[in-house]
Amino acid sequence: MIEHLRHMAIFARVVDEGSFRAAAKAIGLAPSRVSETVSELERFLGATLLYRTTRKIALTNEGRMFYARVAEMLRSAENGLNELNALSLEPVGALRVSMPAYMSTSTLATALAEFVRRHPLVALSVSFTDARMDLLEDGFDVNFRAGWLDDSSMMSRKLGESARALVAGTGYAATRPRPSHPSEMEDWDWLRYKHRSDVTTLHGPGGVTAKVTGQSRMEVDSIDALNHLTLQNLGATVLPEHLAARGEADGMLVRLLPDWHLRPLGTFAVWPDTSRRESLTLLFVRFVAEWEAKQMTQQTSM
């Protein structure tokens, strides 16, 4: 019986996700292995649990009855883990987390490292990607997002704001007159970030606002790539403050229009309102939020 508990959990995940492929992606197994596991469970039970077609799966009558029991078992197990985590001095469990790739060297990534260091019985699986990840569909427990939230169905906590800077490679900037107003940059070459608007809005002295589009030289879907290409003197762009500061310190980037500023991006932790590991998720988010607040206080006092 014990050896089939894992088979039962995988079967339930297939039903929840709606396909073998989606379940395999969520739990990190090959689709063939997930299908084989369910078949082994069916052979053990002597019953067919799922109708399989090339396009979808459906529960048989036996499968529907069995799934209800398995789902109840898994809920009890998760509740037990949550209760133990709430009572225990040392949290236990695993969380799947996603965060923007450009934050891989930020204080937020350092907070994740410190959380694991302090809690040796907790494992984090972290996906660094600039693509927007779906919490439920992609099987994550917590997503960190940069921007402003539009999904009210999830729980969220603001961690802070990320400043941005308008920059250009030192070599490219040397070929152009230094601008004093955003309109003077319309004929500049620009590098674009795919997940942001093509229009750059800047706020100047006295509350004046100006928008500039410029000539798009290249578009990429990675902030790290955007930073690298800007260092190659291909044009102007908007970068997160920590990357802009690094490039400026190295003499590779030049800040433009210093009297104008861009609206910062909010940084948020987002998680489902019915998290599988509620107490562990809340502990993790609280730790990261407090870490970020501490870092911000230290920066302000310097």
- The CATH number that applies at residue 178 is 3.40.190.290
Domain check: are 107 and 233 in the same one? no
What average pLDDT is seen over the chain? 86
- Identify the CA nearest to 13 among candidates 38, 46, 44, 41: 38
Domain check: are 42 and 99 in the same one? no
Q: How far is CA 63 from the centre of its chain?
A: 35
pLDDT single digits (tens) 239-295: 999 899 999 999 999 999 999 999 888 889 998 876 666 778 888 999 999 998 887
pLDDT of amino acid 22: 83
Residue 208 lies in a domain: yes
Domain check: are 257 and 177 in the same one? yes
* Percentage of the chain exceeding pLDDT 70: 89
DSSP per-residue codes, 84-139: HHHH-SS--EEEEEEE-GGGGGSHHHHHHHHHHHH-TTEEEEEEE-SSPPPTTTTT
Residue finishing a domain among 61, 87, 113 = 87
Q: What CATH number has the domain bearing residue 6?
A: 1.10.10.10
**Predicted structure pTM score:** 0.63
Domain check: are 132 and 203 in the same one? no
Beta strand 209-212 pairing with 142-147: unpaired
pLDDT of amino acid 1: 59
Q: How confident is the model at residue 8 (pLDDT cuts 50, 70, 90)?
A: confident
Domain check: are 278 and 149 in the same one? yes
pLDDT single digits (tens) 117-166: 999 989 999 999 888 777 777 778 899 988 766 656 788 898 888 889 99
Domain check: are 39 and 83 in the same one? yes
Domain check: are 276 and 148 in the same one? yes
Containing structural domain, residue 258: 164-263
